[in-house]
Amino acid sequence: MADCWIRCIECNQVAHITDYDRFPQYHCDRNLDEITEKPVDDTKRFMTQHINHRMEEITVIKNSFISEGRYGEPLNVSYREATNGKERFVIQEWREDVNSPLRYELIPGYIKTSFRLEVQSDEIRRQMNEEIAHLPLAAVKIEQFIKIVEKVVSRSPMRDAIEITAESDTPLDAYCKMDANSVRGILRLSEGVFDAKEMRKVEQFIYRNNNFNDSMTLLLKRSFDVKKRHPEPLKSDKEQSLFDEAVAKRSNR
C-alpha cells in the first residue's frame, strides 16, 4: 500500500500520498432520497497544481506524532516531525470540519517537548479509604501520606528510563511506575505518621497499586511547542543518530 509524503520544494507544500486518495466520496441528497458518488484523486490534484515544480519525498520521524486532543477526535490539530535528509520540518494537519479532508502545513522547525510527573492525589485518597477500610486510617494521616508522596515525587529527578505502564486517551498523558528509590523514600518518611501495624498495610498498598494506571502510579504529563526556524543542515551522521534516539526516547515517555 502506498504511503509517503511528497513536498513541493518551490511552494513548500506537502501531500500525504496513500491509496485512499482515490477513494470516491458519497453524498446523500435527502430531497431526492438518493446517494451520489463523486470521483476523487487527491494525488493527481496535487501533482497538477505543482506541475513542473521540483518535488522531493520527505520521511516522517518515528514516534514524533503529537496532538493536543484525544485519540480519534476528527477535528484534532496534530503534528509530526519529518526530514528530507538535509532539513527538518514539522507537518501540521487538521480538518476544517468533520466532512472536510485533512489539510497540511509544512513548517521548517522542530517540536520541543517537556515533561512533568503528577501524583494521583484524589485516586490515592479514594483507594486508601476503600482498601484499608477494615483498619480505619484517620483522614489526617491519609492527607499526610499524600503530602509525603507529593514531596518525594517533586524532589525526584526526571530519569532517562521511565517505565510506562499504561497509555491514556491522549498522546500528552501516560502512566508510569514509581521507581524503587521513591518508594523507599515514601516508606521512610511515612514511619513518622503510621504505627507498625498501619505501616505494613501502607507498604502493601503502595506495591499493590503501582501498576497499570493504579493510584500509586504517576501521571506523566507532556507539553509541546512548535519551534519555527529557517531550514538548516542536519547534524553529522553520528550526531544525527543521537538526535533520532533522543526524539524516540522523548516520544516514548
Torsion angle (degrees, nearest 10) of CA 147, 114, 95, 74? -40
Give the span between the Cα atoms of 230 and 107, in whole angstroms. 9
Please state the pTM of the whole predicted model.
0.74
Residue ranges of the alpha helices (H) in 58-179? Answer: 121-131, 139-155
pLDDT higher for 35 or 226?
Answer: 226
The type of residue at 210 is N
Q: What is the predicted pLDDT for the residue at 40?
A: 81
pLDDT for position 93: 96
- CA 56, 62, 66 angle in degrees (round to 5)? 100
pLDDT, residue 246, reads 47
- Dump pLDDT digits (tens) for 186-200: 999 999 999 999 999
Of 18-27, 85-94, 148-157, where does mean pLDDT reach its minimum?
18-27
Contact 71, 171 (CB under 8 A): yes
Q: Whole-number mean pLDDT of the chain?
A: 87
> 3-state DSSP: the chain helix, strand, coil percent, rounded to 5?
30, 30, 35
Residue 118 pLDDT exceeds 70? yes
pLDDT surpasses 90 at 120? yes
The count of other CB atoms within 10 Å of the CB of residue 120 is 20
Q: What is the structure's pLDDT at 240?
A: 47
Cell output for 229: 526556524
Identify whether the C-beta of residue 19 lies closer than 8 Å to the C-beta of residue 28.
no
Cα–Cα distance for residue pair 149/145, rounded to 1 Å:
6
- For residue 99, pLDDT over 90 is answered with no
Q: What pLDDT sits at residue 158?
A: 76
Higher-scoring residue by pLDDT: 71, 208? 208
- Do 112 and 224 touch, CB atoms closer than 8 A? yes
Q: What is the pLDDT of residues 103-112, one digit of tens each?
A: 999 999 999 9
Q: What is the pLDDT of residue 186?
A: 97
Phi, psi of 243 (to 5 degrees): -65, -45
Q: What cell does 104 get?
A: 497540511
The predicted structure's pLDDT at residue 251 = 46
pLDDT tens, 128-183?
999 887 777 889 999 999 999 999 999 988 765 689 999 999 999 999 999 999 99
pLDDT at 253 over 50: no
